[in-house]
């Protein structure tokens, strides 16, 4: 390969890299990596098919209408019973926020998906940046509708979080940390510690938390 070919190849690589950076990267503030075929079941039994996804940043169920991303209107939410996406089931908690139904046999377990989008900080004194100073810029960015897109710019961060809702016959309890789950099962401390000793459990790994709660509720 001569010098001219090497130079041309290098320029192609640089252009490709810049283009990829400008396009942004997929940061999953949505539960699914793309909009999926789903079914919206209304309280009167009516079923509607739509391309659906759940936006954890806005905590809204979003549907794709000819390329436009829209949230369910309040009048729809008031009449909504269940949303099915693939083999997963979502319902409204207190008629406000969507939660995924994980278990209904013997005990009820729901997961509420949340996340906080952190835009790049504005320049601060001494060459640093301030994330708190970027709240205003995020608000205007959010109002532009880009928060409904699947991809965010490269310099945005997403902090994901979960709230687990459990009703084992004594009413609803919510957990937003491992400490809260541990305190809830304080009377079964030996069983709880045994499971954690034998299994890796991470609060941000929903499958591991589902496994822990299932073990505690069935043993």
Same domain membership, residue 213 and residue 117: no
- The single-letter DSSP state of residue 172 is E
Number of independent structural domains in the chain: 2
Same domain membership, residue 193 and residue 96: no
Predicted confidence at residue 134, as pLDDT, reads: 39
Same domain membership, residue 218 and residue 117: no
Predicted confidence at residue 176, as pLDDT, reads: 95
Domain of 190, in residue numbers? 177-219
Predicted confidence at residue 26, as pLDDT, reads: 47
Same domain membership, residue 190 and residue 95: no
Secondary structure string (H, E, C) spanning 80-133: EEEEEECCEEEEEECCCEEEEEEECCCCEEEEEEEEEEECCCEECHHHCEECHH
Is residue 167 situated within a structural domain? yes
Is residue 8 situated within a structural domain? no
Cβ(215)–Cβ(195) under 8 Å? yes
Local confidence pLDDT in tens for the 219 residues of the chain: 543 443 333 332 333 232 333 334 444 688 898 899 999 999 999 999 999 999 888 888 999 988 888 889 899 999 999 999 999 999 998 877 899 999 999 999 999 998 777 766 554 445 444 444 434 444 444 444 556 665 666 667 777 889 999 999 989 999 999 999 999 999 999 999 999 999 999 998 999 999 999 999 999
**Cα end-to-end span (Å), the chain:** 68
pTM: 0.75
Question: Is the CA virtual torsion 72, 75, 78, 84 positive or negative?
Answer: negative
Predicted confidence at residue 122, as pLDDT, reads: 54
């Amino acid at each position: 390969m001569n010098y001219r070919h090497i130079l041309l190849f290098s320029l192609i690589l640089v252009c490709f890299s810049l283009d990829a950076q400008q396009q942004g990267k997929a940061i999953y503030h949505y539960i699914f990596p793309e909009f999926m075929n789903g079914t919206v079941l209304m309280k009167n039994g009516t079923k509607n098919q739509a391309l659906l996804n759940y936006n954890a940043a806005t905590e809204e169920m979003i549907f794709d209408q000819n390329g436009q991303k829209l949230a369910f209107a309040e009048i729809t939410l008031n009449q909504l019973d269940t949303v099915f996406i693939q083999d997963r089931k979502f319902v409204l908690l207190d008629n406000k926020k969507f939660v995924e139904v994980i278990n209904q046999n013997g005990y009820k377990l729901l997961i509420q998906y949340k996340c906080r989008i952190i835009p790049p900080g504005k320049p601060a004194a001494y060459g640093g940046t301030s994330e708190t100073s970027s709240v205003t810029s995020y608000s205007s960015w959010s109002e532009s509708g880009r928060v409904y897109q699947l991809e965010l710019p490269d310099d945005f961060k997403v902090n994901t979080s979960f709230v687990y809702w459990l009703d084992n016959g004594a009413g609803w309890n919510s957990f937003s940390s491992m400490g809260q789950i541990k305190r809830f099962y304080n009377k079964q401390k030996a069983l709880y510690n045994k499971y954690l000793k034998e299994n890796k459990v991470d609060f941000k790994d929903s499958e591991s938390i589902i496994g822990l709660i299932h073990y505690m509720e069935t043993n």
